[in-house]
């Protein structure tokens, strides 16, 4: 189609109703010519162009520095959170050390009491961090928080699909399940 407009002399006086008055006509060499009343856009000053390039380079550098700072901040936050967690768990470890330092001639009952106290302390630390135990005792089986690893046959329809025993405790936060509780589930007529 560009071949048609190469010789503009032929069509110079032709009034094309579809042509926009701001549209260019091609010269003999195929470059657009200016229509009457249309001015050449001002060329950007070399200094202004250099200024814009410098501003772009500065913006890129700022963004690169911002990304690097965010990576460092995230790493520092993770480290601080880890340190906070360890500092909360240290008293639990201290109590385990005390329980293990019980005299060997002492009763197993005393050691068991000490270990239970440590377990309760550990659970309270987890609770302070928003971690709770998944309830299982006499609950209906919920595949979102329970993992059935065994079935137990029952005759009572009231017990059907209820958790009979907890084999491994599960934990969750308000947002998600950290570990599903492994449970034994009652089923009618299962053998």
Range of the domain at 148: 132-188
In a domain, 149, yes or no: yes
Give the pLDDT mean for 100-106. Answer: 70
Of 110, 166, 169, 162, the C-alpha closest to 141 is 162
Interval 150-166: pLDDT, tens: 999 988 888 899 999 99
CA 139 to chain centre: 32
How many separate domains does the chain show?
Answer: 1
In a domain, 77, yes or no: no
In a domain, 159, yes or no: yes
CA 141 to chain centre: 29
Interval 104-122: pLDDT, tens: 776 777 778 888 888 888 8
In a domain, 143, yes or no: yes
What is the rounded average pLDDT for all residues in the chain? 80
**In this predicted structure, what is the pLDDT of residue 113?**
81
**In this predicted structure, what is the pLDDT of residue 63?**
96
Global confidence as pTM: 0.54
In a domain, 178, yes or no: yes
pLDDT at 6 over 50: no
Whole-angstrom Cα distance, residue 27 to residue 11? 12
In a domain, 123, yes or no: no
**In this predicted structure, what is the pLDDT of residue 35?**
52
Give the pLDDT mean for 64-68. Answer: 96
> CATH number, domain at 136?
2.30.22.10
pLDDT at 24 over 60: no
In a domain, 139, yes or no: yes
Give the pLDDT mean for 34-47. Answer: 60
In a domain, 66, yes or no: no
Pairing of strands 181-188, 163-168: antiparallel
Give the pLDDT mean for 88-98. Answer: 80
pLDDT at 67 over 90: yes
Task: Name the more confident of 183 and 47.
Answer: 183
């Amino acid at each position: 189609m560009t071949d048609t407009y190469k010789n503009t002399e032929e069509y110079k006086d032709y009034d094309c109703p579809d042509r926009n008055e701001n549209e260019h006509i091609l010269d003999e060499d195929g470059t657009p010519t200016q229509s009457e009343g249309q001015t050449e856009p001002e060329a950007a000053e070399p200094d202004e162009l250099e200024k814009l390039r410098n501003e772009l380079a500065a913006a890129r550098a700022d963004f690169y520095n911002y990304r690097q700072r965010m990576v460092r901040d995230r790493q520092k936050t993770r480290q601080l959170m880890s340190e906070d967690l360890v500092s909360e768990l240290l008293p639990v470890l201290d109590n385990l050390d005390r329980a293990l330092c019980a005299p060997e001639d002492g009763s197993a009952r005393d050691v068991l009491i000490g270990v239970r106290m440590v377990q309760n302390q550990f659970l309270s630390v987890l609770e302070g961090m928003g971690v709770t135990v998944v309830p299982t005792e006499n609950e209906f089986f919920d595949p979102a928080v329970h993992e059935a690893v065994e079935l137990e046959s029952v005759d009572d329809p009231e017990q059907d699909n209820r958790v009979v025993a907890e084999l491994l405790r599960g934990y969750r936060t308000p947002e998600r399940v950290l570990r599903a509780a492994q449970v034994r589930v009652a089923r009618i007529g299962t053998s």
